[in-house]
Amino acid sequence: VEPQLPFQTVRPTPEHDALVILDQTLLPEREEERTLETLEEMAEAIRLLRVRGAPLLGVFGAWALAVLAERARTGEIGDSKGLLSHLREAASTLEETRPTAVNLAWALERMLRVAESVVSREGDAAAVSAALLAEARAIHHQDREMCRRMGEHALTLLGDDDAPLTLMTHCNAGALATGGMGSALSPVYLAHDGGRKVRVFADETRPLLQGSRLTAWELTRSGVEVTVVTDGMGAPLLRRGEVDAVVVGSDRIAANGDVANKIGTYGLALLAREHGVPFYVLAPTSTVDLECADGDAIPIEERDPEEVREGFGRRTAPEGAAVWNPAFDVTPARLVSAIVTEEGVVRPPFDEGLGDAVERARRTSEAARRENVAP
Using CB under 6 A, list all residues that contact ligand MRU.
Answer: 49, 52-55, 101, 171, 173, 177-178, 183, 210, 249-251, 261-262, 327
Tell me whether residue 12 or residue 179 sits nearer to ligand MRU (CB atom).
Answer: 179
Q: Closest residue to ligand MRU, Cβ-based?
A: 249
Containing 246, the helix (H) or strand (E) segment is strand 245-248
How many of the other CB atoms lie within 10 Å of CB of 290?
15
Q: State the minimum distance, in angstroms, from the CB of residue 52 to ligand MRU.
A: 3
- Select which of 143, 251, 258, 329 is catalytic: 251
Tell me whether residue 73 or residue 187 sits nearer to ligand MRU (CB atom).
Answer: 187
260 beta partners: 252, 330
Q: State the minimum distance, in angstroms, from the CB of residue 46 to ligand MRU.
A: 9
Tell me whether residue 19 or residue 209 sits nearer to ligand MRU (CB atom).
Answer: 209
| Residue pair 328/261 in contact by the 8 Å Cβ criterion | yes
Scanning 170-315, the segments in alpha helix (DSSP H) are 186-193, 216-221, 234-239, 265-274, 306-309
Tell me whether residue 71 or residue 309 sits nearer to ligand MRU (CB atom).
Answer: 309
Tell me whether residue 193 or residue 251 sits nearer to ligand MRU (CB atom).
Answer: 251
Rounded-to-integer distance, Cα 106 and Cα 127, Å? 22
| Residue pair 357/285 in contact by the 8 Å Cβ criterion | yes
Q: How far is CA 340 from the centre of its chain?
A: 14
Q: State the minimum distance, in angstroms, from the CB of residue 107 to ligand MRU.
A: 14
Rounded-to-integer distance, Cα 244 and Cα 242, Å? 6
Rounded-to-integer distance, Cα 4 and Cα 354, Å? 30
Tell me whether residue 7 or residue 15 sits nearer to ligand MRU (CB atom).
Answer: 7
How many of the other CB atoms lie within 10 Å of CB of 54?
27
| Residue pair 54/101 in contact by the 8 Å Cβ criterion | yes
| Count of helices and strands (H, E) across the chain | 11, 16
Q: State the minimum distance, in angstroms, from the CB of residue 103 to ligand MRU.
A: 8
| Residue pair 348/333 in contact by the 8 Å Cβ criterion | yes
Contacts of 36 (CB under 8 A, 6+ apart): 18, 19, 20, 21, 42, 45, 64
Calculate ∠ Cα 45-30-248, nearest 5°: 65
Q: What is the 3-state secondary structure (H, E, C) of 21-39?
A: EECHHHCCCCCCEEEECCH
How many of the other CB atoms lie within 10 Å of CB of 211?
27
Tell me whether residue 99 or residue 353 sits nearer to ligand MRU (CB atom).
Answer: 99
Mark whether 143 is an active-site residue: no
Active site residues: 251
